[in-house]
Structure 1
Amino acid sequence: MKQSRNLALVVALVLMLCSCSAISGSTSTETFDDFDGPAGSPPNRDLWVYDFGDPHSANHEAQTYTSSPNNVRLDGEGHLLIQAQTTGNGYTSGRLVTRGTLDMLYGKVSARIKMPSGQGIWPAFWMLGSDCPDVGWPECGEIDLMELVNVGTTYYVTLHGPQGNSDYSDHDGVRASGSFPDLANDYHVYWLDWQPDSITIGVDDTVLAVFGPASLPAGGRWVFNHPMYAVLNVAVGGDWPGPPTDATPFPATMIVDWFRYTP
């Protein structure tokens, strides 16, 4: 009986340790989405949430964000499609976020994406502080892993945050070199290596920018040591890209092969 009781205690202890390990290790578990699912179905609802309307009216963008499969859907071949479409009197598109489902703090954030291009087309893979609904922008902080504005030969990686009554960025943009003649021509892996007081952004095997508190302009405050969420969207028009023209190809489609977060 004593041996039986000892065995039961050992089993209970092992189960308890396993349970504790699973809980304590949950913050270090990788999140990976390969967008596997039937054609026309929505992306994983446990990870992706829709933004609706025009969350950035200050940019005077022309699109309305929807959850329609015309704008956001899986293609049945392991890809997420985010499409900007023309309508009778405007444009619709999609904007997906991990706000409230995956609020990330440090680690590696990456996605393999084929970006669209065209006059008035503005695709982006970026992040916002999870406290944005409470403190607003730019106090929450914004990390732009990749923005293409009109063409894939000029691309931008930028930080935005509070600096007095304005926002800051590192510079006007990072221009394509011989390594990336046109980012819109193919898939590329866009990534962020994020540590306390350190942000490194790159494409494929190339580092594009390294940021830290010392790289901010005078008066700028580092607001990137708190949880943030991912954003994938295709905007249309606005102050930066300007309006589409008759030559702009529609639908303008961002094709996402996979998304990964490794704490």
Structure 2
Amino acid sequence: MPFKDILEQAKARADGFAKQHNINLPPQIAAQLAPSQQRPAGNPSYAPPIPGNKPHNPTPQGQLQPYWRPAFSPNSQVSEHFKHQLGDHGWGNNELQNYVASPENSFYTPDGKLVLRAIARGGQFTSARLTSHSTLSRQRGSLVAVATPPCAEGIWPALWLLPNEPFQWPNEGEFDILETWNADGVNHSCLHWGHFNGEDWNKHRVMETNVADMARRPIRYEFVWEQDEHKGRNDGGGRAVWYIDGRAIMKAEIPAGTRRISDWQIIINVAMGGNVCQGKRPADGHYDMVVHELKLSDEPSDGWGRFQADFASAPEGHP
């Protein structure tokens, strides 16, 4: 993607979060964040059905037991484990969707999957945005998500982390684990802890990973973190590694000023249209983010020894 497009998306995202969290940006920053003009509607080739039980060959975990694993049971309510965030105000990014709590847009399947379904129907757009009631709760640990994201023009699925509300964005941080848009076949792993201006230019780390078949099979994402338990609430410090299908794809030191990761929550959503999608609108149909597994564990999938080695050798994201 050309640098100009990346910068425009970054600015759009900064403006979106600022509006979403009622943040007043300095005038010199706000002047750079004018929303882009929408382009004519795109035409996705398909609205993916719910994938079946295709094996994804996760990394063996031995006898390790997760300390949080929501039961994706059709006999329970999604709201038991997640809060529905609601609204059709564009989320500061000119997005099209109305986030609702309808069982048509977020539900558990009979075979134990969580589905967030974005629906485009005659110019109406509904979707789901879920935030975990549980925080990460530990000074070090592992988040594993096995998911099949929808990939189509005008569709922007994400699984990411933000501090427990209330918080100051972006100063207290953001970790993006699964993020892709407009069927680009690329996962965008990110760490943000500053605005998109000259002073904060280096407070962003991004790594693009090509996953050409991401819409056709479950992808295994893992985020591993460790912090000193004696650090304060916003002291930062520590390390993190992002994984896709068992491969370390990005590492980062946790910046000073960010919230303790033990106080962060998981967010899953499917956005539609907006500045990040460059004004492209989804065609009529449904677009499913299928979460096959979600869990938090005290130890990474392959142990802390593997994490240490991966942190030594994995690449840092580029600013």
The TM-score range, normalised by the shorter chain, is 0.7 to 0.9
Q: 1:154 is matched with which residue: 162, 181, 186?
A: 186
Residue in 2 aligned with 1:208? 249
Give runs of aligned pairs for residues 83-102 of structure 1, distance below 5 A. Answer: 83-99=117-133, 101-102=134-135
Q: Which residue identity lines up with residue 102 of structure 1 in the other structure?
A: T
Query: Does residue 1:257 correspond to 2:292, yes or no?
Result: yes
User: Secondary structure at the residue paired with 1:184?
Assistant: coil
Q: Which residue identity lines up with residue 252 of structure 1 in the other structure?
A: Y
Q: 2:216 is matched with which residue: 174, 185, 207?
A: 185
* Contact 1:236–1:243 (8 Å) recurs in 2: no
1:63–1:103 CA distance, 2 compared to 1 (3 A)? same
User: Secondary structure at the residue paired with 1:57?
Assistant: helix
Q: CA deviation at 1:245?
A: 4.3
Residue in 1 aligned with 2:67? 30
Q: Which residue identity lines up with residue 104 of structure 1 in the other structure?
A: S
* Contact 1:50–1:66 (8 Å) recurs in 2: yes
Q: Which residue identity lines up with residue 212 of structure 1 in the other structure?
A: E
- Structure 1 runs (4+) greater than 4 angstroms displaced: 163-167
Give the TM-score of the pair, scaled to structure 2. Answer: 0.62
User: Secondary structure at the residue paired with 2:215?
Assistant: helix
Task: Name the CA distance, whole Å, in 1 between partners of 2:106 and 2:77.
Answer: 7
Give runs of aligned pairs for residues 51-200 of structure 1, distance below 5 A. Answer: 51-54=85-88, 57-99=91-133, 101-105=134-138, 106-130=140-164, 132-133=165-166, 135-151=167-183, 153-162=185-194, 168-171=203-206, 173-176=207-210, 180-196=211-227, 197-200=238-241
Q: How many residues in Structure 1 have an aligned counterpart in Structure 2?
A: 219
Q: Which residue identity lines up with residue 154 of structure 2 in the other structure?
A: G
Task: Name the CA distance, whole Å, in 2 between partners of 1:238 and 1:81.
Answer: 22
CA offsets, 1:175-203, max 9 Å, x none? 31xxx332122101111001121111111
* Contact 2:84–2:130 (8 Å) recurs in 1: yes
* Contact 2:151–2:185 (8 Å) recurs in 1: no
Where do 5+ consecutive residues of structure 1 fail to align?
A: 1-27
CA offsets, 1:124-146, max 9 Å, x none? 1100011x42x331123110011
* Contact 1:142–1:160 (8 Å) recurs in 2: yes
* Contact 2:239–2:252 (8 Å) recurs in 1: yes
RMSD: 2.5
Query: Does residue 1:48 correspond to 2:82, yes or no?
Result: yes
> Greater CA radius of gyration, 1 or 2?
1
Q: 1:241 is matched with which residue: 277, 300, 304?
A: 277
Q: Which residue identity lines up with residue 33 of structure 1 in the other structure?
A: P
What fraction of aligned residue pairs are identical, expressed as a percent? 23
Q: CA deviation at 1:95?
A: 0.8
